[in-house]
Amino acid sequence: MRVLMVVAALVLGSMGATKADTVDYLDLPLVNGNGEQRGGVHPDLPSDRAAIEQALTAYRAKGIAPARFRALLWQYWIVRAAEDAGVNLSEWDPQRSAASNRAVIFAVYDFYAKLYLTHPDTLRWMGFANIGAPAFAAGMLDLGTVPELRWFSSMLMSMQKHIFMDLGAMHAAYLHGGMKAVEELRDAGIIDADTTAAWADPAQAVMEFSSREQNLVIADQFDRMRSRLLPPGEMVTYAITVAGPMPVPGGKTPAQYRPLFGGPLPAFNYADRVARWDFLSNDTVPAYERLGKDAVHRIVQRPFAERVADYRATGRLLDLLPFRSGESRTGVR
């Protein structure tokens, strides 16, 4: 009798453990869905791929709706993308200094170049993302050198991570799981129907993916940067507009696209989502689409660190900030 009781207890304990294993990750909120904190989309989720795969397999076998394991599914593809990029997701923290995050900043953009070079006829958005990145990365590093501007540096690093978590994860799903994996992301509510449809022909989806990036993924974060009061985000984001044009051959700078009183300054702030998308959709993205494969190859194959240095060399961003004018920049770099 005692033996039967022990066996029953073991069985019940095993059942309880199994039940816990299959429900622990259900219905979790996306507490870090914007990528502003360390790690993945929820602190309770594992960053070990095997552990996530085991849980996903169990949920799928039980017929549980993907929407209920949305956080786990998204975490899985972020982990896969991070592995491919050589990035430790559990340690990726945009709240650290830009100097501390330099390796991961560069690794992400090198990963985009690698994906484009490996799949030039398919993953064309990755080439665009890499070409547009040096000015963005230079802004992270430059702002990070000035104590009163480090919040803006962290926000730019958060935006980079947010884009990676969204578009990087989608690319990982497509490469490793095909349209079935992309459709599961849709069923889970991670991406919408238009984005899913774009994956049917990703070579033609540069505009669609760029729109998602700018108008959905990072739009709120740009709004928060611009609305910050101390120091004035309006000034900082306008300085970014002037100092960091998209380096796409054949494309215009913001000042060339819409000059202020016909002069050398732009008549819009890049942090304004409507003005930003007008500029990108009507000039920058079409300029990229006009580039031939060989031209894109030449750009993305050039070491990323060298291209970032081109955007840091003159220190344009810091020189444009009114409260920094006249200050010596000796030692800032």
Confidence of residue 1 (pLDDT cuts 50, 70, 90): very low
Mean pLDDT, residues 47-55: 97
Neighbouring CB atoms inside 10 A of 13's CB total: 10
Mean pLDDT, residues 110-132: 97
Confidence of residue 331 (pLDDT cuts 50, 70, 90): very low
Residue type present at position 318? L
Q: Give the pLDDT confidence of 209-222 residue by residue, as tens digits.
A: 999 999 999 999 99
Please, which contacts does 288-295 make with residues 24 or more away whose CB atoms are closer than 8 Å?
288/127, 288/128, 288/131, 288/206, 288/248, 288/251, 289/206, 289/207, 290/250, 291/248, 291/249, 291/250, 293/120, 293/121, 295/249
Q: Give the pLDDT confidence of 92-110 residue by residue, as tens digits.
A: 999 999 999 999 999 999 9
Half-sphere exposure of 188 (CA within 13 A, CB side): 30
Task: Name the residue with tokens 């799903």.
Answer: 173
Q: Give the pLDDT confidence of 57-84 residue by residue, as tens digits.
A: 999 999 999 999 999 999 999 999 999 9
